[in-house]
Structure 1
Amino acid sequence: MSRYLLLLLSNLFVGTSWAQLGPTGGRDTSFSIAGSFTKEVKYHPELQLAHPDLPANVRKTAAQTYKRIPAGRELQLDVFQPTSRKLRPAILMIHGGGWRSGDRSHNYTLAGQLAARGYVTVTADYRLSTEALYPAAVHDLKAAISWIRRNAKNYAIDPRKLAVLGFSAGGQLAALIGTTNGNPAFDASGSADSSNVQAIIDLDGILAFIHPESGEGDDSKSTSAATYWFGYSKTAKPELWKQGSALTHVGAATPPTLFLNSSVARMHAGRDDFIAVLNQHGIYSEVHTFENAPHTFLFFEPWFTPTLAYIDGFLRRVFSSSN
């Protein structure tokens, strides 16, 4: 067998071929809250699952279709809102799972508790890499923001005060969505301004894929989650990986940003460089790091309650100053 053929086969098996990888199909259930608990409680015996019950002063409107895609597929979201009809800020919540696993139910507990504190929270589906490659997820979630704005009156939402929140891969997406406000290249609806957000909340989501702090894109043993999402390795198409990095787009139009981080440093790659740009433009940001906390800190006590408090405090500061 020739050396060239060996190299080609090697590239194919580790997911770094020159040809684009397509969606893998099927459903990836590798990431779950229960699985994370089983893994982390070995190292953190004090771990407790955040209480999942819906607060009494919150109502949930489930399974609202916000986008239809080919073959009759519907993308849906759930709305959690306080029972009073006072006009309130809204938060789009994006689940994690490496751009290929997870589902919107992972955000239900946090969504309910934030709604109890006076926000309308929205948990949304988006297409994962098993179904569609980058930038489909970005297009989907910007469409969800546009849906929120169009339906603001139905849910007593102040359309001038929309935030995007995400965990892990969802945090990466939240930051990318917020830094591309008004950019038609990232909005397939044709009306980019309708998907603008006024605040970003990034829970352990990376800001830059190609960065000294990033661990994404190592295909040496198996195809990485990010390679599956982009469809190319970062060496084959580095420009694509840079385009999908929020750090590439951060600038004067970026909204105030909150970073909540675990002790896993690679999960916030590019954060300090991102904040440096915000500082250049006088844009407000906050950083809170939970020492010795696992990546999935937001699902568990003793970190869930302070996570909730940090988000609430940040949004009250940001949105009260925009009145």
Structure 2
Amino acid sequence: MKIFWIFLFVLFTNSALGRQKTNIPRDTSFTLQSTFIKEKKKFPFITIADSLLSKNLLLKGNLVYKKIGDRALHLDIIYPKKKIKNGYPAVILIHGGGWRSGDRSQTIAIAKKIAESGYVTVAVEYRLSLEAAYPAGLQDVRSAIRWMRENAKKYRINSNKIAAMGFSSGGQMAALLGTTNGDKKYDGPTADSKIAGDIQAVIDVDGVLAFHHPESSESVVAAQWLGGTYLDKPEIWNEASALSHVDKNSVPIIFINSSTPRFHGGRDDMVKKLNSFNIYSEIHEFPNTPHPFWFFNPWFSPTVNYTIKFLDRVFK
């Protein structure tokens, strides 16, 4: 436990220093501790989930995967010590925080648990809305996926089997990536077109599928990320919704949800579309749960288990 918190402190400090050097504004409203204090009032039985790094795994932290001027973006990678032919399937984890807060350290605990089951996991930093509006963050994540393919041999990655796992706003991003493979908009202006930023599966943990939808209630934070309200930018709100892009090329997806419908708005309509193309999906919804349930026991382990079973089905 002590080693884990030391690691998080170093990770947060390095990230904060990097932001100070480039004068990037930081929203610290969404942290693990503040979320725990808030949710414990309603769910007094919860505890913060933790996991140690298995002796069979290696962790390389604070690696630079992309530079934008003097701005460096980082990731942390966890991978098995043992080498195998063709490498291991990989998962890139996208943190939540309303597209404007949170950081990649919030995905480390679940990344370690998934890696124990024979996966390479990557916790990624990306530009948030106070720094850059949509689609910059998505372009960053796709850059990280290309980095994974560029470094596949070094980190034991099977480049043909990469999934995106996102939480809340990160879940929205993961689902959008899984329905827009090949869309150059999300590659960015400096992308190497020879290296694919595509993914082969999605784990959407309580991420909205459609911004303007009867089940959704996205407003200020979405408007900030998308550059305006729905009335201002209806085409962008639709474009940024995974539901708008579902077609025969969409990838298998698992939805792991809280009991609050607005955090998975558009999910059931998306499943209907996926079914029409015979694309595999599954839904797991925890009753009577807070939105950020994945941080806490008793929901942490079932979330991991659902994820691993889905990944094993798709990739192994």
TM over 0.5: yes
Q: Is the 8 Å Cα contact of residues 184 and 190 (structure 1) preserved in structure 2?
A: no
2-structure distance, mates of 1:178, 1:255:
6
Residue 82 of structure 2 is aligned to residue 84 of structure 1: yes
Q: How does 1:48-197 map to 2 (within 5 A)?
A: 48-70=47-69, 72-86=70-84, 87-188=87-188, 189-191=191-193, 194-197=196-199
Please name the residue that 1:305 is paired with: 301
- In structure 2, relative to structure 1, the CA distance for the partners of 1:286 and 1:191 (3 Å cut) is same
Please name the residue that 1:13 is paired with: none
Q: 1:190, CA displacement in angstroms? A: 5.0
Q: Secondary structure at the match of 2:303?
A: helix
1-structure distance, mates of 2:54, 2:167:
22
Please name the residue that 1:230 is paired with: 226
Structure 2: gaps (5+ residues)? 1-22
Q: Is the 8 Å Cα contact of residues 179 and 245 (structure 2) preserved in structure 1?
A: yes
2-structure distance, mates of 1:192, 1:292:
46
Please name the residue that 1:199 is paired with: 201
CA deviation profile, 1:80-122 (whole Å, cap 9, x unmatched): 1122122210000000000000000000000011111111000
Q: 1:53, CA displacement in angstroms? A: 2.6
Q: Which runs of 4+ in 1 moved over 4 A?
A: none
Please name the residue that 1:273 is paired with: 269
| Higher deviation after alignment, 262-271 or 46-55 | 46-55
2-structure distance, mates of 1:190, 1:25:
26
Q: Secondary structure at the match of 1:194?
A: coil
CA deviation profile, 1:198-228 (whole Å, cap 9, x unmatched): 10110000000011111102xxxxxx11111
- In structure 2, relative to structure 1, the CA distance for the partners of 1:55 and 1:229 (3 Å cut) is same
Q: Is the 8 Å Cα contact of residues 126 and 141 (structure 1) preserved in structure 2?
A: yes
Please name the residue that 1:262 is paired with: 258
Q: 1:192, CA displacement in angstroms? A: 7.9
Q: Name which structure has the greater RCO, CA cutoff 8 Å, separation 6+.
A: 1
CA deviation profile, 1:171-215 (whole Å, cap 9, x unmatched): 000001111101112211152860111101100000000111111
2-structure distance, mates of 1:107, 1:192:
29
Q: Which is higher, the Rg of structure 1 or of structure 2?
A: 1
- In structure 2, relative to structure 1, the CA distance for the partners of 1:307 and 1:192 (3 Å cut) is farther
Q: 1:243, CA displacement in angstroms? A: 0.7
2-structure distance, mates of 1:262, 1:191:
38
Q: Is the 8 Å Cα contact of residues 167 and 203 (structure 1) preserved in structure 2?
A: yes
1-structure distance, mates of 2:32, 2:255:
21
2-structure distance, mates of 1:193, 1:124:
18
1-structure distance, mates of 2:192, 2:172:
23
2-structure distance, mates of 1:75, 1:95:
14
Please name the residue that 1:286 is paired with: 282
Q: Is the 8 Å Cα contact of residues 181 and 193 (structure 1) preserved in structure 2?
A: no
- TM-score when scaled to structure 1? 0.88
- In structure 2, relative to structure 1, the CA distance for the partners of 1:38 and 1:130 (3 Å cut) is same
Please name the residue that 1:45 is paired with: 44
Structure 1: gaps (5+ residues)? 1-23, 218-223
The percentage of counterpart residues that share the same residue type is: 49
Q: 1:65, CA displacement in angstroms? A: 0.9
1-structure distance, mates of 2:194, 2:294:
31
Please name the residue that 1:210 is paired with: 212
The amino acid across from 2:102 in the alignment is G
The amino acid across from 2:110 in the alignment is L
1-structure distance, mates of 2:194, 2:313:
26
Q: Is the 8 Å Cα contact of residues 149 and 195 (structure 2) preserved in structure 1?
A: no
Q: Is the 8 Å Cα contact of residues 51 and 113 (structure 2) preserved in structure 1?
A: no
CA RMSD of aligned residues (A): 1.3
